[in-house]
Structure 1
């Protein structure tokens, strides 16, 4: 702002942070973005997810959360995703009301308690406590993922959204990679079916660190982008305005309903991949190695699609269509290979307990790696599609809540299918069918609703911010 310039009418003075929040950070010869920048805030959120859901993914990726008897774990997961589906749908309203920092902090606690319940289950087989911890984790996870989605989609500039999603997904899945090293190192000489206590204790320590990291997040009202623009958000939301805003989002953005099947499909396959492919087919040390490779390929998938989604020489609408086509091709190719693998066994087949030293291991290993690549690719694209529809953080918090809520409905269903001993081929067919079908339904949104840029006035339509408050002064002067 020029010296002597007046404050824009209606500007919220309380939305200005402390001076230190806007000074670039220097560590040795390196200069990093200021604390209240979208980049720094994304890194903070990424490391919280690295330490909490990232480590949780490493546990669940072992198949049955590392337990020999998967029945009670399956029931806990059903409880988890049942509560997450309800809380997730309304989490955007909660986040807008209490702020992203508190939302993220509350979310991190449930992961610690869930692994503590698994440690307890190792000794007393208290299924009730495990299921309760799963249900509580669903509530906490709904809050955490809503806050994460709002930061990742609403903080970056339009041309950076693919990069932000990729950076988050890489750091987050690094948690799964490093987390998988824990059981791999501790069980590398074991051919048993369950992990030991030390594995769960190590995860608990890491998750506790993630919970405390969440308190370092800045309030969104202080965040300033490198071009001087601010995040579009409600200044003084009430519970009533947020509940009303939730339904306004659905009413005035009804096209989002066509993305709901993609939300449902986005984690539909995890129960099948973790418990059937990895949990049933391999012994514990090989499951640990497979889990490591799975999360590593998630990082690769996020990086590849993050680059493709931000290609500078193509318009945003063209990038949306190109990546949608690539994702559909992957759906047919990778899951086609999965069908050939699934024909080899079913629930009545004796448990193979394949070891990585066996001669037939390489093919299933690469299939599991491609499953990890596909998971990150599908979710990176889905988040980017949502983020391309608006830059309004309030609206995107609701979108993220819809995403996690509906995604969790799918996971609750599939973990219940697994608990009911559904034939493996039926589980596989449901995964492939819903993934391909959801993309067909989403086609009109991707091809007709994603524009080359988002209109600021349209984004501010249901916000109490003004253009003068969210657009940098130099832009206004240039006009």
Structure 2
């Protein structure tokens, strides 16, 4: 605990203070605040700006403009291409690059990591457009490496923020809000896909004009950044200035030197928390390569376009449902962690069994390109539909669980970075593997199912050791007690 900022070192003198001095003292409070004094001395606009929910909404707006549009393109199945091989190679490279970029976020800060990340997302959309319009596949592959560096900064900063901003009793709902922002982007992208690619009998890739719309939306974040003084990124304030809805402030640690930070990262990577959750991290998004390939092989262009529109709907309901379970007041944090884990596992197992059954049938009789008016469409598409919910549920749950062990905001960033790096390795392997399984996703389905099975026992061990109170909250209580003792001296 030596890194945690110590409480006020000297008792506050009982002398008249001007409003600016009062505001400075409020900012310096280790954890809780005097709500009445805060309201009396801080302008309403600043209180709204500093509110944890406002910061989460700002982060969600950025997620809508960038990652959500990227996911919508991937949701076309092979990026909407006639064959998914080139898309899988590009995506594998992007996630491989992402895996090596995360650990720098604690040094450059969440805000600037988000700026760099926001500028990288339009590259992917433009590469898909150029590939579809001009056939230059080299740019599609190169974009995977270029955008991977930027998205590494984004994803790690995002992971740390979403685990840190929420008050302890509302972490599940905050995480659900983040998931919803991602899926609202997919809804918009899906509507564009369907509007541009609804004609029956279309073969090959989707309409090139579709990518123009994606590039415009993805570029919105960059355009606003350049034209309006970095509004999204600069409105993300340092963690120590955030005031949560329950009146608490975020526990932060002293800034470490580069050498100290690298040592702390190495310690995090080898910690019990990360070791026990590593297989879950490797598995958590491994499904995306196989199911994207499944969609690209067996469904028509307009069926793929429809899938990108309807797939997010159930995810929104499911993630808020899980959020309510994880935030239940009447159960201990450990019990909520256990219920959440078993819920996620059971749902995923059901979807995987269904998907494997459908793929075995397709191996015996290739259905060709299934359209939405074919009789086989519903039972063939529903596994993909449900995995778009069970997959994000796994992510949302894991970030909630990781935040249950953190002692401060910086540790959340390190834990999130480690988890996302392992997750990115899994995604890179999944998409790379699917470049070699062009006609039969059954191998990918089997490997994904096997990874889930291997991850269950370590996760049960981890979940059964979940503390009944977040360590950061314990630290905050100790800081407050020390501050009150000093003030009463």
TM-score category of the 2 structures, normalised to the smaller one: 0.7 to 0.9
Q: Which moved more, 1:101-110 or 1:351-360?
A: 351-360
Partner of 2:185: 175
3-state SS of 1:35 partner: helix
Separation (CA, whole Å) in 2 of partners of 1:201 and 1:316: 46
Q: Which moved more, 1:434-443 or 1:230-239?
A: 230-239
Partner of 1:163: 173
Q: 1:431 aligns with which of 413, 434, 448?
A: 448
Q: 1:68 aligns with which of 74, 82, 88?
A: 82
Q: Deviations over 1:439-460 (max 9, x none)?
A: 2221111012x11102348758
Q: Deviations over 1:345-398 (max 9, x none)?
A: 24x965611111111212123222211121121111111111111251111101
Q: Deviations over 1:7-33 (max 9, x none)?
A: 99x9897899x99995445xxxxxx96
Separation (CA, whole Å) in 1 of partners of 2:135 and 2:486: 64
Partner of 1:203: 214
The answer to whether the aligner puts 1:231 opposite 2:242 as a matched pair is: no
Separation (CA, whole Å) in 2 of partners of 1:65 and 1:109: 20
Separation (CA, whole Å) in 2 of partners of 1:66 and 1:475: 63
Taking structure 2 as the reference length, the TM-score comes to 0.85
CA contact (8 A) 1:72 1:131 kept: yes
Q: Give structure 2 stretches of 5+ with no counterpart.
A: 1-11, 31-37, 226-231
Shift of the 178–3 alpha-carbon distance from structure 1 to 2, 3 Å rule, reads farther
Separation (CA, whole Å) in 1 of partners of 2:182 and 2:133: 30
Deviation at 1:473, TM superposition (A): 6.7
Separation (CA, whole Å) in 2 of partners of 1:119 and 1:358: 30
Shift of the 60–436 alpha-carbon distance from structure 1 to 2, 3 Å rule, reads same
Q: 1:49 aligns with which of 63, 87, 91?
A: 63
CA contact (8 A) 2:84 2:296 kept: no
Q: 1:454 aligns with which of 429, 449, 470?
A: 470
Separation (CA, whole Å) in 1 of partners of 2:47 and 2:140: 42
Shift of the 268–286 alpha-carbon distance from structure 1 to 2, 3 Å rule, reads same
Shift of the 13–231 alpha-carbon distance from structure 1 to 2, 3 Å rule, reads closer
3-state SS of 1:345 partner: helix
Shift of the 370–21 alpha-carbon distance from structure 1 to 2, 3 Å rule, reads farther
Separation (CA, whole Å) in 2 of partners of 1:130 and 1:21: 53
Separation (CA, whole Å) in 1 of partners of 2:337 and 2:206: 43
Partner of 1:463: none
Deviation at 1:343, TM superposition (A): 0.9
Q: Deviations over 1:1-59 (max 9, x none)?
A: 99759999x9897899x99995445xxxxxx9611121111111111111111011000
The answer to whether the aligner puts 1:308 opposite 2:317 as a matched pair is: no
Shift of the 4–33 alpha-carbon distance from structure 1 to 2, 3 Å rule, reads same
Separation (CA, whole Å) in 2 of partners of 1:171 and 1:424: 29
Separation (CA, whole Å) in 2 of partners of 1:473 and 1:60: 51
Deviation at 1:471, TM superposition (A): 8.4
Q: 2:346 aligns with which of 320, 324, 329?
A: 329
Separation (CA, whole Å) in 1 of partners of 2:14 and 2:101: 47
Q: 1:280 aligns with which of 297, 305, 316?
A: 297
The answer to whether the aligner puts 1:291 opposite 2:308 as a matched pair is: yes
CA contact (8 A) 2:66 2:121 kept: yes
3-state SS of 2:464 partner: helix
Separation (CA, whole Å) in 1 of partners of 2:101 and 2:175: 23
Q: 2:385 aligns with which of 361, 366, 369?
A: 369
3-state SS of 1:193 partner: coil
Q: 2:135 aligns with which of 125, 135, 143?
A: 125
Partner of 2:278: 260
Shift of the 21–68 alpha-carbon distance from structure 1 to 2, 3 Å rule, reads farther
Deviation at 1:106, TM superposition (A): 0.5
Deviation at 1:84, TM superposition (A): 1.0
Q: 2:155 aligns with which of 134, 137, 145?
A: 145
CA contact (8 A) 2:280 2:452 kept: yes
Q: 1:341 aligns with which of 345, 351, 358?
A: 358
Separation (CA, whole Å) in 2 of partners of 1:381 and 1:257: 17
Separation (CA, whole Å) in 2 of partners of 1:57 and 1:246: 29
Q: 2:421 aligns with which of 394, 399, 405?
A: 405
Separation (CA, whole Å) in 1 of partners of 2:180 and 2:365: 36
3-state SS of 2:125 partner: helix
Separation (CA, whole Å) in 2 of partners of 1:408 and 1:39: 28
Partner of 1:416: 432
- For 1:8-27, list aligned pairs within 5 A: 23-25=43-45
Separation (CA, whole Å) in 2 of partners of 1:257 and 1:459: 24
Partner of 1:28: none
CA contact (8 A) 2:269 2:418 kept: no
Shift of the 159–474 alpha-carbon distance from structure 1 to 2, 3 Å rule, reads farther
